[in-house]
Amino acid sequence: MNSVLNKQTQFVDLGLIDYQKAWDFQTDLFTKTLAVKAENRNLATTKQQVTHNHLLFCEHPHVYTLGKSGDKNNLVIPPQNLASIGASFYDINRGGDITYHGPGQIVVYPILDLENFFTDIHRYMRLLEEAVIQTLQAFNIEAGRIKGLTGVWLDESDQRKARKICALGVKTSRWVTMHGLALNVNTDLSYFNHIVPCGISDKAVTSMEKELNSTQEMNRIKEVLKSKLSSVFEMELP
């Protein structure tokens, strides 16, 4: 456990950014945090360095990503046809199956040393969901969870109507996190037709735009989501 807890968290909005560039950016932060923790193991408590926390927001051009436990058959469109819809594809090192990222979707990458907060991956996942649930409530969308499934859902208690509005997929090592969540705001939902989202074939996908029947102001939603994440994790944001 860290000798000095550091809940200060640097926030960066990367804007619309290529998936590989964002992956490289968060991987660099993730690796540097792990390096500090490795050094600390050989230092006296009084000489250990604090680890830093980062909260990254971004949007991506059209891209499909497949988690390490995913099934490539859940990419329904032939890979050679991806260029025709302006999309790319990546095998990545997070948990979970296949998902889609694109413009109009808020993607959040927390690079946190959970030893600064708590050491419980299940709690971490549930708090990510909670921040999204509270954000949606602020825009008059009631959301919740489905037992046994990750993410945030609408009409979660009705098997026929349940639809996903936010997907989660994370990677952790020595309590350091990367990857995160994707909230559909003004997302082009037709891109989900080319995959079996998160490997779940019997549930629909939705967005805030679809549920509210109007295009949403992205910056306002980012502000609320940032505030809710800060609150549930007790982050100290600048």
Active site residues: 198
Strands (E) across 36-139 are located at 53-59, 63-66, 88-91, 98-101, 105-111
First to last CA, the chain: 25
Phi-psi region of 105 (alpha: psi -120 to 50; beta: other; left: phi over 0): beta
Position 226: which residue type? K
Total Cβ atoms within 10 A of residue 50: 15
Do the beta carbons of residue 177 and residue 124 sit within 8 Å? yes
Q: Tell me which residue of 13, 219, 11 sits closest to 111, measured CA to CA.
A: 11
Degrees to nearest 5, angle at CA 58 with 234 and 194: 120
